[in-house]
Structure 1
Amino acid sequence: MKIIVDLLGSDKGPETIFKGVIETSKLHKDLSFVVIGPQEILKKIEIDNDLRDRLEIIDTHEYILNNEEPTFAVRKKKDSSIVLGMRYLDKGNADGLISFGSTGAVLVSGLLIAKRMENVERPALTITLPTNKDRMILLDLGANIDCTVEILKQFAIMGNIYARETLNKLSPKVALLNIGSENGKGTKVLKETYAALEKENMNFVGNIESRDIFNGDVDVVVCDGFHGNVLLKTIEGSAKFILENMKKTLMSSFIGKIGGLLIKSPMKKLKKTLDYKEYGACPMLGLKKVVFKGHGSSDEKAVVSGIGSMVDFIKKDINSKIAKEIERGE
């Protein structure tokens, strides 16, 4: 299996992503890698002969910034790392691509170069999040701000298959994010989507409110990209707020400091649980090719986890299963 790793555009720089590739190569001896980034920087990092035989480097310094307009940048920056990687993938020379750079650039280059599956209206950006019981999948996270009933229905179909394969659930519980649990709640699109999902061959359990998603009662939460992105950033901010204020409160008194020492180990475990980067990168479901997006602040461990998630996705041939299900529903 050959995978492409875009080294540019992450918060921690190409060296960190490449070191993650090196660590991954030790765990997956059957993998070969195409890494895209500045060759002179990579040459300074020591690698063993085993990896050298499985490694190809595509030299470039150009990448797309987070604040650039994605469509314009993808068309203009022909030698950017994500465009070079997506072209390599589109030629069929590799099994998948993972990037830790601009989300917009990954999405647009995937649409323009790798392209959508037949009959898929829009690809969905996903994430795996922890819950009180297990894990859940949330989609879409910002790739599609405005969604029709058909688009949301397809998100549910794709999320259902992804959850079934990666969460090992025979019949994942699929829910629609809404402002109330009753079927008459929400916008016209959400009401019609509810009715459409009731007719689908899946375990649709109805609406779910954002405050309930971490209870662990559902496996897939479906929403448009606007609300998914707002929800994700609220989760990020809330987790940071809670942890920082817990630390501040404990450090404000002598007794609190003693208590802080006693709970230091459980607190580290809690912080790890709340950090969704621990769950690896996630796929853009609905593209013809396997494309994964990792968090921009990923460290070496997160890179290893992200690549591992993509390898599992490829081995389970999830893309083909999604394509067949979407075609069956047309």
Structure 2
Amino acid sequence: MIIAIDGMGGDHAPQSVIEGALQALAAFPQLTVHLYGQQEVMAPFLQQHERLTVIHCSEVVEATDDAARAVRRKKDSSMAKVLEAVKTGTADACLSAGNTGALMAGGLFKVGRIDGISRPALATTLPTADGNGFLMLDLGANADAKAENLAQFALMGNIYAQKVRGYEKPRVGLLNIGTEEQKGNEVTKAAYPLIQAESLHFIGNVEARELLNGVADVVVTDGFTGNMVLKSVEGTAATLFSMLKGAFTASTKAKLGAVLAKDGLRALKTKMDYTEYGGAALFGLKAPVIKAHGSSNAKAIFSAIRQASLMVEHDVIQTIHDTIAKDK
């Protein structure tokens, strides 16, 4: 299995990307990594490995680059090259922590959609109180969505939850402002019966306040709403831990309490740690394309590579293709 990795993407590239790739090579003997990037920049962090191949690229897609133009104009960039690798079959999956908009645009232009998929969706696993997490899509690939798009998102999310996350009958929920079937806007009202008609364990509408309690295994929404939920969860978690840190360092008694509560706090932080879950997958494309968090450290890159390898191992893309073809 070959994973093509953008060595120049992300806030901490190339060091964190290379360290994460080397950790993945040590953990997964079936894995081969093709690392794309500027060789002179990556050289200080590289180690010789028989399953690591470095491919030099002269250009880099920057975070400030225009998304629609970046990959098309910077044809020798590391991001463009990893997308080209999965398009041509040189690699089985690709991964980047770089410019999200550019990766999504490049995925559409270079890799292409699965036949029958009207719009791809960005999906990732978010934490829950029980530690199991839930898959949410769309997280920003489409600001607006039609009811038919949401139904397809539900199908793709269900397949991922079964194949990669190991759920026999994933609970699929439609994010809404109330649990009643008639609640919501015109899109969610129209999407409800479409999802209900699919062969899914559809539990109906779910509310945002119940998401972190594990109300569903797959949650479907439009990209505008999903992106706001994602950033709200990330921001709340960061603020919560900042407040806890302040409270536990406010006095000598508080510091003593922090020592006593150390194991519990560490377990809580692990549950809320995005680096445990990998990146966001672009569902609906003809090959696995994984977007790692821009601030990914080595652990997050390792988790994203594991996610990509599981998608390849369990043939998620082909299953989505076959399911959509059967539905047409």
Same fold, judged at TM 0.5 (above): yes
The more displaced of 58-67 and 151-160 is: 58-67
* Distance in 1 (alpha carbons) for counterparts of 2:293 and 2:45: 23
Aligned mate of 1:117, from 114, 118, 138: 114
Aligned mate of 1:277, from 275, 278, 294: 275
**Structure 1: segments with no counterpart, 5+ residues:** none
* Distance in 2 (alpha carbons) for counterparts of 1:27 and 1:72: 37
Contact 2:122 2:139 survives alignment (8 Å): yes
Q: What amino acid does structure 2 have at the position aligned with 1:205?
A: I
* Distance in 1 (alpha carbons) for counterparts of 2:325 and 2:144: 23
* Distance in 2 (alpha carbons) for counterparts of 1:95 and 1:310: 9
1:105 aligns with 102
Q: Percent identity?
A: 38
Query: Deviation digits for residues 128-152 of structure 1, max 9, x if unmatched?
Result: 1222332210001001001011111
How far residue 29 of structure 1 moved from its aligned partner, in angstroms, is 2.4
The more displaced of 246-255 and 96-105 is: 246-255
Distance 1:46 1:213, change over 3 A: closer
Mapping of residues 172-183 of structure 1, within 5 Å: 172-183=170-181
The more displaced of 212-221 and 39-48 is: 39-48
2:92 aligns with 95
* Distance in 2 (alpha carbons) for counterparts of 1:236 and 1:63: 27
How far residue 88 of structure 1 moved from its aligned partner, in angstroms, is 2.0
2:264 aligns with 266
Contact 2:137 2:157 survives alignment (8 Å): yes
Contact 1:135 1:167 survives alignment (8 Å): no
Contact 1:66 1:104 survives alignment (8 Å): no
**Structure 2: segments with no counterpart, 5+ residues:** none
Task: Say yes or no: does 1:203 pair with 2:177.
Answer: no
Write out the 4+ residue segments of structure 1 that deviate beyond 3 Å after TM superposition.
Answer: none
Mapping of residues 67-86 of structure 1, within 5 Å: 67-86=64-83
Query: Deviation digits for residues 45-82 of structure 1, max 9, x if unmatched?
Result: 3524xx2x323222125222233321122222112211
The count of residues paired between Structure 1 and Structure 2 equals 327
* Distance in 1 (alpha carbons) for counterparts of 2:45 and 2:209: 46
2:162 aligns with 164
* Distance in 2 (alpha carbons) for counterparts of 1:129 and 1:110: 23
Contact 2:37 2:77 survives alignment (8 Å): no
Mapping of residues 181-260 of structure 1, within 5 Å: 181-260=179-258
The more displaced of 272-281 and 200-209 is: 272-281
Q: What amino acid does structure 1 have at the position aligned with 2:118?
A: E
Could you say what the CA RMSD is over the residues aligned between the two structures, in angstroms? 1.3
Contact 1:15 1:41 survives alignment (8 Å): no
TM-score if structure 1 supplies the norm length? Answer: 0.95
Query: Deviation digits for residues 114-168 of structure 1, max 9, x if unmatched?
Result: 0000000111110112223322100010010010111111000000111111221
* Distance in 2 (alpha carbons) for counterparts of 1:46 and 1:156: 41
* Distance in 2 (alpha carbons) for counterparts of 1:71 and 1:163: 31
2:308 aligns with 310
Contact 1:153 1:193 survives alignment (8 Å): yes
* Distance in 2 (alpha carbons) for counterparts of 1:43 and 1:240: 34
* Distance in 2 (alpha carbons) for counterparts of 1:217 and 1:150: 23
* Distance in 2 (alpha carbons) for counterparts of 1:253 and 1:45: 42
The more displaced of 80-89 and 105-114 is: 80-89
* Distance in 1 (alpha carbons) for counterparts of 2:225 and 2:34: 35
1:39 aligns with 39
* Distance in 2 (alpha carbons) for counterparts of 1:249 and 1:55: 46
1:128 aligns with 125
How far residue 41 of structure 1 moved from its aligned partner, in angstroms, is 3.0
Contact 2:159 2:320 survives alignment (8 Å): yes
Q: What amino acid does structure 2 have at the position aligned with 1:274?
A: M
2:63 aligns with 66
Contact 1:282 1:309 survives alignment (8 Å): no
* Distance in 1 (alpha carbons) for counterparts of 2:156 and 2:147: 14
